[in-house]
Amino acid sequence: MKFWKKIFTYNFILFVIIFNLGGVFLIENMHSVSLDREIERGLSEHLSIYSGMKLIGKYRLNYDEKFNKDMLRVTMKDFLKSFHNEKIYVEVLDRYNNTIFTNLDFRASKEREELKNPYVDKRKYVIRDVGDKTLLFITNLLDASGEQLKFTYVRDVTYIYKDREKVYYFFIKLDIIISIILACGTYVLSRYITKPIDKLINSIQIIENGNFSERVNIKSNDEIGILSDHFNKMASVIEEKMKQLKKNIDEKQSFIDNLTHEIKTPLTSIIGYADFLRNTKYNEDAFSKGLNSIFKEGKRLEGLSSKMMDLIVFKRENFVMKKENIKNILMDIKEVLKPKLQNKNIELIISGQDMEIVMEKDLIENLIINLIDNAVKASYENSKINIKLYKNENSKSVIEVSDQGIGIKDEDLTKVFEPFYMVDKSRKKTNGSAGLGLSICEQIAKIHKAKLSIESKLNIGTSVKIIFD
């Protein structure tokens, strides 16, 4: 069952139960109050008639010192005329339930419960249906010249029960009308209340079908509004994660494609030269040239394998960090790279404040060597490479490596950290590079919770910053 149907059904059933129970209770309570009032009135009138008859009997019935039934009948008729009330009925019976006087216009049984053992000072009353009437019977004993008579006052209370029936009839009609109005109103309200939920469901279904940019537009301050806000935040996170996942998948696929290509080229050369040497008569120059080519391509494969292992290790290994003096590390690196710098007559200048950084020394050396190596490859002969140490405006430690080389195009700047990407495609063949240097640098930076920032202009130079948190 849908949620709006549950709201409609439960609210409608709850209202009908409460409304009907409340109505029945109210009608029965009103009926009970009216009946109690009528009983009190009956008891009062009974007492009035009984007292009057008792007083008259004291002076008239005892006058002859003999009980006179005829005189009692006449006295009762005269006395009842003074009430002018057709609803008042009186019945007087002797001890054997023989009628002495009665003005009942209906037939009443002589074997009634209240006629059994009545009292002088106590009254018995009962309500019973006689034919189509509902009557109140009040009975006690009347002493007439020593004769104990059963005096019964009867009052017609039929109208009270008829009034209750009328009220019930009216209540049933009112109940039907209100229930119809309530059903219509509850239907509209339940549909309105659950409309935002329908929107959420539709948005979820759209996202299930792959459209992760879907958002639900619900403006309210209730729980559904809060739920929609959290849903949109969740959808944003999912969309971002899916974008990142797609990016990672694309990068992995590109990585595999490039790796396949990089491996295929040297393998083709190795197989080709080996087949050539196998099928060619011995010639020292040809054999020397072929073996050199095989060795060169083999070393290229070895370098590629080493770089691949670096990438894998950097992603998986837990490294021990400690504070190191970065300037001392830079001086050691300068000494190591001295032959390479001298080959192009490049001057490496180290400047800036001395500072200590928490790091894994070997990894940072690897990172800086890669950056300087790239700078040397991109620099012209007789140029300079500058390494600056400083704190930026956010008090973060920065190592900046800048050259005066050929620079990088703007469209290439966003791709330089991708594995196998080469800005200058011709350099790959001449220096054995596979384009993994900056990708390894980025992995090392992540291990140190640092980030790399690169700026470049064509024919002016490139600047790479390592920014530590």
Q: Where do the structural domains in the chain lie, given as residue ranges?
A: 3-164, 213-317, 318-468
Residue 96: what residue type?
Y
Predicted TM-score (pTM) above 0.85:
no
Burial of 385 (0-12, 13-18, 19+ CB in 10 A): buried
Lowest-confidence segment of 10-14, 358-362, 363-367, 437-441 by average pLDDT: 437-441
Q: How far apart are CA 465 and CA 469, in angstroms?
A: 13
Rounded to the nearest 5°, which phi and psi values hold at 217? -110, 90
Spatial distance between the Cα atoms of 143 and 65, rounded to a whole number of angstroms: 13
Same fold, 213-317 and 318-468: no
Question: Look-up: residue for tokens 């059903």?
Answer: 183
Contact 132, 114 (CB under 8 A): no
Least confident of 34-43, 416-425, 443-452: 416-425
Q: How many residues does the chain have?
A: 469
Q: Of 3.30.450.20, 1.20.140.10, 2.30.30.760, 3.50.50.60, which CATH number belongs to 3-164?
A: 3.30.450.20
CATH number at 318-468: 3.30.565.10
φ, ψ (nearest 5 deg) of residue 357: -130, 140
**184 closest CA partner among 311, 382, 8:** 8
Q: Give the pLDDT band of residue 351 (cuts 50, 70, 90).
A: very high
Question: Of 2-11, 118-127, 142-151, 262-271, which range is least confident?
Answer: 262-271
Measured distance CA(216)–CA(228) in Å, rounded: 7
Q: Are 336 and 369 in contact (CB under 8 A)?
A: yes
Sheet holding 461-468, edge to edge: 347-352, 384-391, 397-402, 461-468, 450-457
pLDDT at residue 56 above 80? no
Share the mean pLDDT of the chain: 81
Looking at CATH, the fold of the domain delimited by 213-317 is given as: Helix Hairpins (1.10.287)
pLDDT score, position 397:
92
123-173 per-position pLDDT tens digit: 899 999 988 889 999 999 887 766 788 889 998 899 999 999 999 999 999
Residue 421, pLDDT score = 57
DSSP E strands, 289-421: 322-325, 347-352, 356-359, 384-391, 397-402
